[in-house]
Chain A
Amino acid sequence: MTATIAPGNAPAARTVPEPAVRRAGILRWSGYGVLLVVVLGFSVGAPAFLTSGNVSTILAQASVYAIAGTGFTFVVATGGDDVLRGGIDLSVGATAGLAGTVVAVLAAAGTGTLAALAAGLGAALAVGAVNGAVVVAGLRPLLATLATMGVASSLDLVISSNVKTPLDGALYDYLREGSVAGVPASVALLIVVALVATWALHKTSWGVNSFATGDSATAARVAGLPVARYTWTSYVLCSGLAGVAGILLASRLSASVPGIGTQILLDIILVSTMSAVFSSRLLVSVPGTVLSAVFVAALSNGLTLLGVASQWVGAAKGVLILVVLAAVALRGRKSS
């Protein structure tokens, strides 16, 4: 474990070599290149792929993962991208599931929409507050959130009694079927979240400080940043957005499904960590997260349209993602 060297040393292991900034343009766009090739390949192979109806289906499918992934990106940015010691939130999926379940159970019990939403988001934020507090206390994020993941998914089972709870109501129907100026409501929600998050993380001093904290907590502290506060906030934001994503997911499915949190966890981690592909310095970013979510959704959708059997979709997804990651890792090596 490299941390034996020194506390502030974790960033030394990061794949962010200094000359990266000077790197040639072609390699820098390789992430977008792969995305383009895949989209072109699908649209040639399956004419239905690029129709507006299908595109909006893909975007709607991507919205849940993109929103939760955006929260995850905050944690990775603020905690550093070293997986074993850096920022990570394994409870993000379970939190999303818990929020959806709380809303559905309350709605089924006749609670008003606003109260149900508040309770669902409140549950998610509570998980985030615990995560943040425990990480600030000094626990490894990987382990702390592994524990809260167990707690949240267990609460999910307890509250729902492990049965599917239907979710009906004007707002939820709107999230599922409604549209704003021709854009599906879930996609509109995604756009709003993405714009605000992009602005916050990439255009404000708060965002710059968050990245600074993630790069070297020691340096950030010496520079006078309240590292603990930034860290805590990132976990609360992550869980809050996970809550939003969970409620959106339950609305899209018209029901809360117990245990769905563990199923979506991997995809959320994937879209967030893959966002580094779209950055010349291999840092996570909000736009990159949204793009990755769309990429992953397009991949499943396109493979299905091409008539690939569903058993192959997972394998193809895994291989393609590994190819992208390997391309990025090799790209990083050339300049180091």
Chain B
Amino acid sequence: MSTTASRSAGTRLGSVAPRLIAPLALAVVLLLFGALSPVFLTGDNLLAVLAQSALLGIVAMGLTFAVRAGGIDLSVGVALDLGALGASGLISDGWVPWVAVAGGLFLGLLVGLVNAFLVVVARIPPFLATLGVWFIGTSVQQLMTSGGAPIYLSASRVPDGFAVLGRGRVLGVDSAVFFLLVVVVVAALLLGATRWGRRLTLSGEQARAARLVGLHVKRLTVSAYVLSALVAAFAGVLLASRSNGFVPGSGQGYLLDAIGAVFIGSTLSRHGRASPAGTLVGVVLFGLLGNGMNLMGLSFFWQGLGRGVILLLVLLLGVLLSRSRKPRAASLPPGMVGGLAALAPGKATSETGGERAASGTEHTAPAIDHDDAAPRQEVPTA
């Protein structure tokens, strides 16, 4: 089992290259649109991009928790909607700001608890469980708004304390940008520097090992889904404040971009692990791309195409680059390598690293890395 130190320089470059693609794509987008449009690279425009992508960023941070825990949360859009619905509903009923915020977050908490119940207790696969919650949440919104009527808050009825959340300025930047940075820092600290974060990572990547060493995998999973929904609901509260109201179904648009951003971000990690910093890179990449295409005068119709192609290219390059280096046999349990080599001599060991491993990008390759905080163990397969 090789450590970083014992790898040859070439291998090291090979293992770093796939991780540089997302930042490189970011640089290419910056330079390309910077050359094409004079306003693109101005500070004002870049800050505006950040402000526009702040809500997506916050939602994606929530999703990062769920993905890190080995699941996925398709209901973040619904959590965002319900957060916005709760907050704007309470404000329009004349409640004070903090009650509205708490109400919005409470609805998000409910979504998270339902998700966690379905995944942990009912043992429904996360994708389907959160898909079901999406259906239900969409319906709940319609019921709570008597058939999908938007809530509009007239500016005079919005207390300053609530308006400042989405439209104020903190330390010279948009409050949404400020909140995004707070969420990123808190998420990075939670996941990277706490025992909870390391345990969550372990239970997400090696659920069986986590259970064997005595971790409460169920509790960790519950916390991930609850956090995911809470963070998304917080984005919803900001959206309500920013747009002075609530339009049913406005959260769905965030979901696919958030998934894309989280997984673009995961190419930054040697283990293909979702991280707040990586997610931020993905979010900013999408934000710059959309803004650049707007400045170029490309219609909304083409933007999905641009985004899809970039997503595809970044991920494809990452896979191809990580594939070109030699797949390490260390990623297989020893017995399996021997068995496969015996069955198909010659090609087997290099081949087996291929398909499944490649489909998970690189996180199959480095099985053991001592510089990583999370304990990683090889478990015999069931």
Q: Is the Cβ of B70 less than 8 Å from the Cβ of A2?
A: yes
Indicate whether A330 reaches chain B with its CB closer than 8 angstroms.
Answer: yes
CB < 8 Å: which of B126, B309, B332 contacts A6?
B332
Chain B residues with Cβ below 8 Å from A313 are: 139
Asked if A26 is an interface residue, CB under 8 A from chain B, the answer is no
Per-residue interface assignment for chain B, residues 333 to 369, with 1 indicating a CB less than 8 Å from any chain A CB and 0 otherwise: 1001000100110001001111111111101100100
CB closest chain-A residue, reference B72: A84
Are A154 and B140 neighbours in the complex by a CB distance under 8 Å? no
Inter-chain contacts of B323 with A (CB < 8 A): 138
Report yes or no: A329 in contact with B319, Cβ–Cβ below 8 A.
no
Closest beta carbon of chain A to B376's beta carbon, Å = 7
Determine if A3 and B316 form an interchain contact, defined as CB atoms under 8 angstroms apart.
no
| B166 CB, nearest partner CB in chain A, Å | 27
The answer to whether B147 and A218 touch across the interface, beta carbons within 8 angstroms, is no
Is residue B143 contacting chain A, with contact meaning CB distance below 8 A? yes
B135 near A143: Cβ-Cβ < 8 Å: no
Residue in contact with A325 in the complex, picked from B128, B143, B271, B359, CB distance below 8 Å: B128
User: Quick check: is B84 within 8 A (CB to CB) of the other chain?
Assistant: no
Known: A8-B336, A144-B312, A311-B147. A326 touches B133 (CB 8 A): no
Stretch touching chain A among B35-43, B102-110, B223-231, B297-305: B297-305
A2 touches B304 (CB 8 A): no
Contacts of B360 in A (CB 8 A): 1, 3, 7, 85, 140
Q: Is A228 an interface residue (CB 8 A)?
A: yes
Q: Are B135 and A83 in contact (CB under 8 A)?
A: no
Q: Complex formed: what's the CA distance from A290 to B204 in Å?
A: 34
Name the one of B125, B206, B305, B353 contacting A150, with C-beta atoms under 8 angstroms.
Answer: B305
CB neighbors of A among B78-124 (8 A):
118, 122-124
Q: Are A148 and B312 in contact, with the CB atoms below 8 A?
A: yes
B311 contacts A147, CB within 8 Å? yes
CB contact under 8 A between A1 and B205, given known A138-B355, A318-B135: yes
CB < 8 Å: which of B124, B300, B355 contacts A228?
Answer: B355
| Chain B interface size range | 35 or more
- Interface size of A in residues (CB-CB distance below 8 Å): 66
> Which residues from chain B contact A306 at a C-beta distance below 8 Å?
none
Q: How far is the CA of A54 from the CA of B116 in the complex (A)?
A: 39
Q: Which residues of B contact A158 (CB under 8 A)?
A: 301-302, 305
Q: Which residues of B lie under 8 Å from residue A83 when comparing CB positions?
A: 72, 125-128
CB of B32 closer than 8 Å to a CB of A: no
B309 lies within 8 A of A151 (CB): yes
Residue of B nearest to A88 (CB): B127
Q: A84-B70, A138-B354, A329-B124 are in contact. List 14 more A-B contacts (CB 8 A).
A: A3-B356, A7-B360, A83-B127, A84-B127, A146-B259, A150-B308, A154-B306, A158-B302, A313-B139, A314-B139, A315-B143, A318-B136, A322-B136, A325-B129
Contacts A/B (CB < 8 Å), 27 sampled:
A1-B273, A2-B70, A4-B205, A5-B206, A6-B332, A7-B360, A83-B125, A83-B128, A84-B72, A138-B355, A142-B259, A143-B260, A147-B260, A147-B309, A149-B256, A161-B301, A266-B135, A311-B139, A314-B139, A318-B139, A319-B136, A321-B132, A322-B124, A325-B122, A325-B132, A326-B122, A326-B123
